[in-house]
């Protein structure tokens, strides 16, 4: 004899889903917290590169706020992806020994470059997954 009180599967629309926190903005904030003080200690001859790095970081942070608040997110995520690629190039330039010649060391050490590149890689992975979900 079957059980009189059979389990009823939960309805899909019964409970409201709580919005998941926007992890991409948190990671970008951590990257800015790491990279911004580094750019403040660049030598005078690399000040323009430091300014571009700061502008790029702040643009990515601005795009993350826009993505969190907008309804149509595709263009903003594409702009953010482009800006992240630009930031990666600038960070690579700041650590390049060839650009700064043999006399002067590059503004970023290899450890600083590796740490910053790890932040950028993680942000890129999160952003790529986010773009794929749109």
Q: Per-residue pLDDT tens for 57-86?
A: 999 999 999 999 988 999 999 999 999 999
- pLDDT at residue 92, as a whole number: 97
Q: Is residue 13 domain-resident?
A: no
Q: Is residue 40 domain-resident?
A: yes
Distances (CA, A) of 124 to 1, 26, 63, 108, 114: 57, 13, 13, 21, 15
Task: Assign residue 100 the CATH number of its domain.
Answer: 1.20.1440.60
- Given a cut of 60, whether residue 8 has pLDDT beyond it is no
DSSP 44: G
Q: Per-residue pLDDT tens for 80-120?
A: 999 999 999 999 999 999 987 778 899 999 999 999 999 99
Predicted TM-score (pTM) above 0.85? no
Q: Is residue 52 domain-resident?
A: yes
- pLDDT at residue 12, as a whole number: 55
Q: What is the mean pLDDT of residues 33-58?
A: 97
CA atoms in the 13 A half-sphere facing the CB of 67: 25
Q: How confident is the model at residue 48 (pLDDT cuts 50, 70, 90)?
A: very high
Q: Is residue 124 domain-resident?
A: yes
Question: Which range among 1-5, 27-31, 109-113 shows the weakest confidence by mean pLDDT?
Answer: 1-5
Q: Tell me how far apart the alpha carbons of residues 6 and 4 are, in angstroms, rounded to a whole number.
A: 6
Q: Is residue 47 domain-resident?
A: yes
Q: Is residue 2 domain-resident?
A: no
Q: Is residue 9 domain-resident?
A: no
Q: Is residue 73 domain-resident?
A: yes
């Amino acid at each position: 004899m079957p059980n009189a009180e059979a389990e009823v599967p939960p309805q899909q629309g019964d409970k409201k889903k709580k919005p998941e926190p926007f992890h991409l903005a948190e990671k970008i904030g951590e990257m800015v917290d790491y990279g911004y003080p580094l750019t403040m200690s660049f030598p005078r001859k690399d000040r323009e590169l430091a300014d571009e790095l700061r502008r790029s970081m702040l643009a990515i942070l601005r795009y993350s706020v826009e993505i969190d608040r907008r309804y149509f997110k595709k263009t903003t995520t594409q702009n953010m992806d482009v800006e992240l690629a630009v930031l990666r190039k600038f960070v690579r330039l700041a650590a390049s020994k060839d650009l700064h010649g043999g006399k002067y060391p590059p503004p970023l050490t290899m450890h600083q470059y590796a740490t910053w590149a790890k932040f950028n890689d993680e942000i890129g992975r999160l952003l790529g997954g986010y773009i794929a979900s749109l």
